[in-house]
Amino acid sequence: MLGNLVKLLLKTGVSNYLEWKCIDGTYVYQWDKGGIFSSAKGVIHKVPANDREALSSDLMGLFEKNRCRKFFQYIQEFNENDAKTFKSKIIMLYQKN
C-alpha cells in the first residue's frame, strides 16, 4: 500500500530525479518542565521503531508502552494474504472494499 504522496511522485515521474535513502531513525524534540530538583530543558528522543525500543522509551507512560509494543508485534505478524492475522475490524473492513 502506497501513500498518496508516493503515488503522486511515481505517476508524475519525479521519482526518477530523486535520490531515495534509508534512515536510521526518527527523532523528536520534547520540552521537559523543570521540577524541584531540575531545571527546564529540551530533550531529543528517538521515536521507537520496534517493541524493544518502545519499552525503553521515555516518550510514553507504562500503558502506552505496552500498547505500542503490542502494535509493533501485530505489524510484524501481519500477513495481507492470511485473514487469521487480521485482529482489527478496521483492517477487515478495509479488506472488503
The answer to whether position 84 is within a domain reads: yes
Q: Which pLDDT band holds residue 14 (cuts at 50, 70, 90)?
A: confident
The alpha-helical segments, DSSP class H, found in the chain are: 4-12, 51-56, 62-77, 89-96
Output the nine-digit C-alpha cell for 3. Answer: 501513500
The answer to whether position 14 is within a domain reads: no
Measure the CA–CA gap between 4 and 37, rounded to whole angstroms.
48
- Neighbouring CB atoms inside 10 A of 48's CB total 21
Which residue range forms the structural domain that includes residue 34?
20-96
The answer to whether position 57 is within a domain reads: yes
The answer to whether position 63 is within a domain reads: yes
The answer to whether position 68 is within a domain reads: yes
pLDDT digits (tens, 9 = 90+) for 51-91: 888 888 888 898 888 888 888 888 888 787 887 777 665 55
pLDDT value at 1 more than 70: no
pLDDT value at 18 more than 60: yes
Facing residues of 28 across strands?
A: 45
How many domains does the chain fold into? 1
What pLDDT score does 97 carry? 46
Measure the CA–CA gap between 71 and 90, rounded to whole angstroms.
14
pLDDT digits (tens, 9 = 90+) for 21-43: 788 888 999 887 777 777 778 88
The answer to whether position 13 is within a domain reads: no
The answer to whether position 6 is within a domain reads: no
The answer to whether position 74 is within a domain reads: yes
